[in-house]
Amino acid sequence: MFKKPVTWIVLLLICMLTYVFWPAADTLTAKKGSNKPTLVETQTVKKQFLKDEITALGTTQANESILLTAQSTDRVKSVHFDDSDNVKKGQLIIALEHAQEQAEVKELEIKFAEQQRQLQRLLDINKTSAPAESAIDSQKSLMETTQAQLSVAKIRLSEKFVYAPFAGKLGLRQISQGQLLTSNTEITTLDDLSQIKVEFELPEKFLNRVSFGQSVSAKNIAYPLEFNGKITSIASRLDKATRSFKVRAIFPNKQLKLRAGMLLQLIVETKSVEVLTVPETAIIPINAEHYVYQVIDNKVHRVQVVTGRRKPGLVEIVSGLVEGDIVVSQGVIKVREGSMITTPEMMAADTAAAKE
């Protein structure tokens, strides 16, 4: 009758002993496992030449760009261009109705010619007599007035024609023949795309690293190729709010691949500089700070570093390490401060030594 209570008591004792000694066994196992070196890859801190490149974004502008409009109000008599035409300087774009202005010019030209003949007759009659001299002066005054009127009439006539002020590429036509144009009516656009201007801003820390004639390369999502230009202007003032300054570069555009309004990714190329570098994978960013795991006697130590220039796969170390230091380049997430490490090279050496 007492067997059943005894059985329960034994089971209870087993559970209590298991609860007490199981964590201790786990801790012992963990301690044994923690002594095993972690497999990582390492790299030696060394000096390399890095191009000192400054990156920026800029928007393209035509070398020259205008919106073509008429100078006077009238109906379009004739259109002399099509969409996207390439035009020369002085080429006729449109003509407005100009019959009245042309007639005024013709009338004044005839009047002026008649006054010239009248003056010549007066000169032939008597060049020395007082009455003739007075008449001559009066005739000259009339001619001057007519000549001024003729000049004004010719200006009014010229305003009935729109010419290309420079060579370039026209945009889309916005008017039709017979349409009434005012001085605010857009006819089309004209862009000189023989070379492209790009303005971009740089932080003031780069002010002593850019200069006139410096090379600039650019890329755009529309083309796989790279465009090359040069810096032609640097602003004399900095923006007080952003502490940045404007730079202008010119890009030759003989094939007309670049258009106004395109976004370019720019790289300002400066001289190559020899700096300390580590692999990009060795850097551990924590908030605004950067760390690496330095290897000393096969044990890792977390070291804070200051980084500088970057290029694909490499990061400049400004301070925190010296040439010849060894850092963990692959496997940084597997180690902690004080962890023992090994590398494939070390394991291969151990295996070769064991075989001897």
**What is the DSSP secondary-structure string of 151-180?**
HHHHHHHHTTEEE-SSSEEE------TT-E
Shared fold status for 53-62+189-273 and 71-96+161-184: no
For residue 338, the SS3 value is: coil
- Rounded CA gap, 34 and 260, in Å? 63
Task: Look at residue 299 and tell me whether its pLDDT is greater than 90.
Answer: yes
Identify the CATH number of the domain defined by range 53-62+189-273: 2.40.30.170
Predicted local distance difference test score (pLDDT) of residue 43: 93
Query: Would you list the domain boundaries of the chain?
Result: 36-50+274-355, 53-62+189-273, 71-96+161-184, 99-159
Task: Look at residue 6 and tell me whether its pLDDT is greater than 60.
Answer: no
- Rounded CA gap, 274 and 287, in Å? 28
- CB-neighbour burial class of residue 305 (10 A; exposed 0-12, middle 13-18, buried 19+): buried
| Domain 71-96+161-184 architecture | Beta Barrel (2.40)
CA–CA distances in Å: residue 285 to residues 1, 312, 332: 70, 17, 11
User: Tell me, what amino acid is at 165?
Assistant: P
Hey, how many other C-beta atoms are within 10 angstroms of the C-beta on 322? Answer: 9
Predicted local distance difference test score (pLDDT) of residue 180: 94
Predicted local distance difference test score (pLDDT) of residue 13: 61
Q: How big is the CA angle at 133 (ends 131 and 137), to the nearest 5 degrees?
A: 120
- Rounded CA gap, 302 and 335, in Å? 10
- Rounded CA gap, 147 and 114, in Å? 12
For residue 1, the SS3 value is: coil
The chain-wide mean pLDDT, for the chain, equals: 87
Q: Of 87-101, 123-137, 193-207, which gets the smallest average pLDDT? A: 123-137
Tokens matching residue 158: 């010229």
Tokens matching residue 266: 């720019």
Task: Look at residue 2 and tell me whether its pLDDT is greater than 60.
Answer: no
Nearest to 101 by CA among 72, 67, 124: 72
Predicted local distance difference test score (pLDDT) of residue 311: 83
Dump pLDDT digits (tens) for 194-243. Answer: 999 999 999 998 998 899 999 999 999 988 889 999 999 999 999 999 99
Q: Of 1-5, 70-74, 213-217, which gets the smallest average pLDDT? A: 1-5
Tokens matching residue 218: 């650019």
| CATH match of 36-50+274-355 with 3.30.70.1290 | no
What is the 3 state secondary structure string of 189-214? EEEEEEEEEEEEEEEHHHHHHCCCCC
Predicted local distance difference test score (pLDDT) of residue 273: 82
Predicted local distance difference test score (pLDDT) of residue 137: 83
Ramachandran area for residue 302 (φ above 0: left; ψ -120 to 50: alpha; else beta): beta
Name the pLDDT band for 9 (thresholds 50, 70, 90).
low
φ, ψ of residue 181 to 5 degrees: the values are: -105, 140
pTM over 0.75: no
11: Cβ contacts below 8 Å, ≥ 6 apart:
none
End-to-end CA distance of the chain: give it in Å, rounded: 70
Dump pLDDT digits (tens) for 10-34. Answer: 555 665 555 444 444 444 444 444 5
